[in-house]
Amino acid sequence: MKPVADLYPQIYDWENLERAYHRARAGKRGHAPAAGFERTLEDNLVSLQDELRTQTYRPGAYHSFYIHEPKHRLISAAPFRDRVAHHALCAVIEPLFERRFIFDSYANRVGKGTHRALDRCQQFSRRYSYALQLDVVQFFPSIDHELLRTALWRVIGDEQVLGLCDVILAGGRGVQAEEYRMVYFPGDDPSTGSGQGLLAANRPRGLPIGNLTSQFWANVYLDALDQFVKRELKCRAYARYVDDLVLFADSKRTLWEWRAAVVDYLAGLRLTVHIERAHPRPVAEGLPFLGFTVFPTHRRLKAQKAISFRRKFKGQVSALASGQIALSDLHASVRGWINHVQYGDTWGLRRAVLGSELLWEG
C-alpha cells in the first residue's frame, strides 16, 4: 500500500492540539506540570502550534527515575508540553498503522489491553496442548532507530511528519544508554572496527520508557514480527503484549521449529530473547503471563504480585494513620489493585491481603 502523504497540517491543527492536551492531562490534572501548563493553556498551545507549524519544535529534557515493580526499569518522563506534542502526533499517524496491525497484538491499543490479552491466552490454552513463551531481552533500550524509521517510512509518506518523528527520536537518544548491554549479531565485527555490521552495532538505539510515542512505536517495530508469525509460520494461535509473546500448537516439535525461526527473525531486528526459559510447555502446567498464571480453567495471581501489594498496602495504611495521605488515596489504590486482580480467581487472596476492613466497599 502506498505511504500516506499530506498529514503534517493535521498535527498542529488547533482542535487536534486541544484534544491532545486533554489526553495528556488525563489522570494528571492535579500534578504540577499539568497544572502549570493549564494556567496559561491558550498561550502554551499557541506557542506549541507555532513551533510545530514552522518545524522549530524541539523537545525538552527528560526526568528519569527507577521503578522496581514489576521489574527494575528506568522510567523517563518527558515535559508535559512534549507529552501534548506526542499525543498530537499519535492521533494522526496511529490510525494508519492500526488497520495494519494483527488482531492479537494487545498492548497500548484501544479496545485491547492486559485483560483482553489474558482472556485470549486462556482461550488458546483451552484449544491447544502446548505453548511457547518468548520475551525480548532489554527491549526498549535495544530498539534500533534506523530500523524503526524504515518501518515508519513504509506507511508515512509525509516528510514533515517523518521529520517530527526524527526530532522526538533524537530528543530521547541516549536516555536508555546505561540500560543497554552490548549485543553483537551475525555480520557485526567488533574486533576489526570495520564493515557495515559494526556501523549497525553503533547506530542510535533505545526509546524512553514512559512516552506515548515509545509505546506506539514499540508496536510498529514488532509488527513485522507479528506478520511473520501469522503469515510465514502460519501460527493460528499467537498473542503479543509489548515484548511478551505466546505461540500455541498441539505439537512440541512445531513449537521448537517456530522458536528457532522467531529467534532468527528477531536477530534481524537486533533483538534477542531470554532463550534459557523459551521452551514449549504443556498448557495444563499454567502459563505465567502478565502477572497471572493462566490455566485452561482458571487464573491465579502470581505470588510476587500479592506480596508486593501487601507490602505497599501496609505502608499506605501507616501513611494514612500518620496523616501523610488521605483515605481517598488509599481507596483509589485498593480499587485499582482489585480492578486488576479480579480477572483471576482471587477472592480469597483479596480477603487475605486486605483483611477484614473491606476498604474496597467504601
Does the structure show a pLDDT above 80 at 352?
A: no
CA distance 44 to 81: 8
Picking from 141, 33, 133, 43, the residue whose alpha carbon sits closest to that of residue 83 is: 33
pLDDT tens for 171-217 read: 998 888 888 888 888 878 656 554 455 577 788 999 999 899 999 99
CA distance 207 to 192: 29
Q: Is the peptide bond before 70 cis (omega within 30 degrees of 0)?
A: yes
Does the structure show a pLDDT above 70 at 314?
A: no
CA distance 131 to 229: 14
Tell me how far apart the terminal alpha carbons of the chain are, to the nearest angstrom: 53
Give me the percent of the chain exceeding a pLDDT of 90. 64
pLDDT tens for 222-274 read: 999 999 999 999 999 999 999 999 999 999 999 999 999 999 999 999 999 99
Does the structure show a pLDDT above 70 at 133?
A: yes
Where residue 353 falls among pLDDT bands split at 50, 70, 90? low
